[in-house]
Every structure is written in C-alpha cells, then in structure tokens.
Amino acid sequence: MKPVIITADSTVDLSQDLIDRYDIRIIPLTIQLGDESFLDGLQFTPADMYARYHKDGLLPKTSAPNTRDFVHFFRPLLEAGYEIVHLDISSELSNSFNAARLAAQDLEGVYLVDSRMLSTGIGLLAIEGAECRDRGMSAADIAAHLTSLTGKVSTSFVLDTLEFMWKGGRCTGVAALGANLLKIKPALEMHDGRLMIYKKYRGRTEKVYRQYISERLAGKSIRPGHIFLTESGEIDPAVVEELTAYVKELSGAKEVHHTIAGCTISSHCGPRCLGVLFIEE
C-alpha cells in the first residue's frame, strides 16, 4: 500500500503548527485586491486586508485554484509515491472542488472529499484524515470515512458586523444598518453545504460570544479529540484566552485549537467574527 498524504485548499484555516504537526499540504486560493494578486495565507493576511480596507475602502475578491493549478499541485506528490486524499471548501460555495475533480480525472491515486464545510470545519476533517493515515488506513478508505463524517461536523459563526457582507454584496445596506443600530449579531451555520442564518443575538459582543458558545455546545455529544475556536482577527487576546478555557470547560475536549481564519473567509465575515467548530458523535 502506498503512503498517504492529506491535502486541502487554504480555506482549511489551520495554523502552521497544526499543518506541520499533521503533515497536511495546502493549495492556496488567490486574493485579488485591485490590480494586485496574493496567495491566501502566504502573501496576505487578514491583518493586511483590514489595514488596506481602512486605508482605501477596498475589499478583496477571491478565486479558487484552476484545474491546471491542481494538476501542478497533485503531480509532484504522486510522482513522489504518495496517494492523495484531498479536501476542499463546500462545492456549493466555491469552484475549488470542481477544479480539483477535473484535475483528478487524468491522475491516478487522487481521492477527493467535498467537505460540505468551510474554514476549520474542513480542518477537523483534515486532522481526522491525518490520524487515520497514521493508523495505517488506505487513501480510499480515508476518503470514504471523511465523506461519511461531513454531516457530523458542526460549523457555525457569530458575526460582529455586517459591514463586510454588505460591501461584498451579500446583504443590503438597509439590513446592515439596521443590524448595527440594533446591535444585532447574526449567527450562521453550515447546512447542506451552504451558510444559513439560524439566530440573531443582541448585546455586547463579549457577552454574545459566551452565549453563542454555551448554546452550541449544550446537550451535544461531541467527539472529545479536537474543537476549534476560530476567529477572523481583531478579538482581544485576553478574551480569546478566556473563551478557549470556557470551551474546554463545557466540552471536555482534549485539545481546543485557537486559529485565525485566512483572507478568503475573513473577507466575507469581517473582523471579530467567532466560531466554535467540532464533530458530533
């Protein structure tokens, strides 16, 4: 049996420590800002993006790797003797999975998983895949196992502002203004591969974070290995530290990973967005 490598596109939003620890290879999406192009997570960070937005009002556009990009990404790994299990952002949200599928048609040994998720919802599956690899599972079996888990991944976020969704054309200016005036914090979750608003919180942001976390974890049978507390940047580190401890207290998780989403995700949700993501039993 050939050795297995786990790969994912950059919307996986894993920290470099976790990428190194689990030996996960990443293909970046492209961030387009005016006439400039950057590789997500490699050449451009959310902090860079917010700085540019505050300076000139520009929000980036994002584009998935094309079929040629995926061929160039997969081929050296296959030539090195690996079989590949590759994860992409939900096919309902991006063309990334379809481009990977077209690339894989002419390559033997690439097994694709449509995560039906985004951000560290994909990251949870990538880590699961790496742990399965380390237990000796084949690429085909890992891909089948991860596909069976996609419906058990809980991916949700609470927004601090609708400004970026408004500027990106994903909600009306009236909705954004009304939400800000009423201090409404929409909460979104992945359902059938798409993001849906499931609740609207009101009040001070730090209080909303705790309420959101407690409600997401309450009464859930959570796999104890890994939980992610993922933010889009600009949350006070002291608040993050407190919330990380709170998640561990409520969930009993062995590891609670704090990560900052890349530009692809952060450009849509704006700063101070927070999510708690886990796999249910």
222 band by pLDDT with thresholds 50, 70 and 90: very high
Domains of the chain by residue range: 4-29+64-150, 155-279
pLDDT, one tens digit per residue, over 72-109 is 999 999 999 999 999 999 999 999 999 999 999 989 99
Q: What is the 3-state secondary structure (H, E, C) of 93-158?
A: CCCHHHHHHHHHCCCCCEEEEECCCCCHHHHHHHHHHHHHHHCCCCHHHHHHHHHHHHHHEECEEE
Res 52: pLDDT: 84
Among 69, 73, 49, which residue's Cα sits nearest to residue 266?
A: 49
pLDDT given for residue 173 in this prediction: 34
pLDDT at 183: 65
Q: What are phi and psi of 89, to 5 degrees?
A: -55, 155
Encode pLDDT of 40-53 as tens digits. 877 778 888 888 88
Average pLDDT over residues 237-252: 96
User: Does the predicted model carry a pTM greater than 0.85?
Assistant: yes
Q: Which CATH number fits domain 155-279: 3.40.50.880, 3.50.50.60, 3.10.180.10, 3.30.1180.10?
A: 3.30.1180.10
CATH of the structural domain 4-29+64-150, one choice from 3.30.420.10, 3.40.50.150, 2.170.150.20, 3.40.50.10170: 3.40.50.10170
- The residue that leads in pLDDT, 143 or 35, is 143
- Burial label, 219 (beta-carbon count in 10 A; 0-12, 13-18, 19+): exposed
